[in-house]
Amino acid sequence: MPTTPPNDDAVAPAAPPVEARCNACPLRRHALFEEPTSEEIELVQSLKKREHRLQAGETLIHEGQTDAPLYTLLEGWAFRYKTLSDGRRQILSFLLAGDFIGVQQKMGDAAAHGVDALTDAAFCVFQRDSLWELHRRSPTMGFNITWLTAHEESMVDDTLLSVGRRSAEERIASMLILLFKRAASLQADAGREGVPFPLTQQHIADGLGLSLVHTNKTMRKLERRGLHRIEGGRLYLRDVRTLARLADLWGDGRPPQRPLV
């Protein structure tokens, strides 16, 4: 550990009043049941223990760690992953501002997955048992959390479909669209000028169950076809329609009825 961390000041920034923070919490961007009342905001506020900042590449939760608290991603990107003992890594999901972290592990149990920061990032820290407190004191918030958790699962479901049944080309098309949408929804301009895209090709490969080399070759192909562009850490979708068709992604609506045979 360096005796004089280069930017230790990040650990104790000129902290804005915490209250303002919770009011502007990105968590509220999620399509929640209803707007939280000021009482509820206060409740969350009171459970919040502190903030925690990481630099890109640092790890928030180690795989197998036993005492991980609960977090909320305040800003930046992160990802959850699992590894095999020989080092093979699978990224389970990417986390954007407003996502929950650590509900998966039963209290007092070992974390089933690690969490690393993808960019410099800020997290809100909660005690593990505040999950219970929240449920007890605000059923509404409790309900929102189970819904959020379920939503998280449905994203993993999507990835599993990709990794299990889509070709490399299809997987990448699918991931680009899905990540673009998520990132765009956090922006005012809805991604008209592209969205921030901090993943390296290694992250993409590990998220899609592909090798780095094959990921690169496939992405170049898509790029040459004019479907997308990644430049200066931003992702631009140039032909969403074709990408969506490639990924077999049903826009927003229901799945098209497919012929019975």
Partner DNA sequence: CGACGTGTTGATCTCTCTCAATTAGAGTGG
Partner DNA sequence: CCACTCTAATTGAGAGAGATCAACACGTCG
Spell out, one character per residue from 182 to 201, where the chain touches DNA: x when CB under 7 A holds, - when not: ------------------xx
Q: Which residues of 167-198 are buried (b: 16+ CB within 10 A; e: fewer)?
A: ebbbbbbbbbbbbbebbbebeeeebeebbbbb
Binding site for a copy of itself (CB under 8 A): 31, 63-64, 66, 80, 82, 84-90, 92, 103-106, 110, 112-113, 131-132, 135-136, 139-140, 142-143, 145-147, 149-154, 156-161, 163-166, 206, 208-209, 248, 253-256, 258
Sign of the dihedral through C-alpha 213, 216, 217, 219: positive
One-letter amino acid of 55? Q
The entry of a copy of itself, DNA, none near residue 113 (CB within 5 to 8 angstroms by kind) is: a copy of itself
Cα distances from 3 to residues 6, 7, 8, 13, 52, in angstroms, run 9, 12, 10, 19, 19
Decide whether 13 or 233 has the Cβ nearer to DNA: 233
Is 115:59 a contact under the CB 8 Å cutoff?
Answer: yes
Q: Residue 84 or 188: which CB sits closer to a copy of itself?
A: 84
Give yes or no for residue 28 binding DNA (CB under 7 A): no
Nearer to DNA, 16 or 87 (CB): 87
Q: Is there binding between residue 214 and DNA (CB under 7 A)?
A: yes
Asked if residue 37 binds DNA (CB under 7 A), the reply is: no
